[in-house]
Amino acid sequence: MAKDKLDKILDQIRPALERDGGNLELVKYDKKQGIVEVHFQGACAHCPLADVTLKNLIEAEITSQMPEVKEVRAV
């Protein structure tokens, strides 16, 4: 199931976020459009580099393991 795979990928990413006092949660996966929505928590929610982390770490990791995902958005 796609949600289980996404949860496993996010579990791989979480330690890097937790080291900086943050975290994230999976909000929604629109399989038809290939869009994943995540919500930043803790320090990540207010970090000025959250957009960079979103694209360069989170989106890059998810799309490399799940090519059907086209975009990851923070909500």
Identify the pLDDT of residue 1. 79
| Phi, psi at 19, each rounded to 5° | -60, -30
Vertex 53, ends 31 and 2: CA angle to 5°? 20
Of 47, 9, 52, 51, nearest to 29 by C-alpha is: 9
Handedness of CA 24, 26, 31, 32 (dihedral sign): negative
Domains of the chain (ranges, CATH numbers): 2-74 (3.30.300.130)
The tens digit of pLDDT for each residue in 23-65 reads 999 999 999 999 999 999 999 999 999 999 999 999 999 999 9
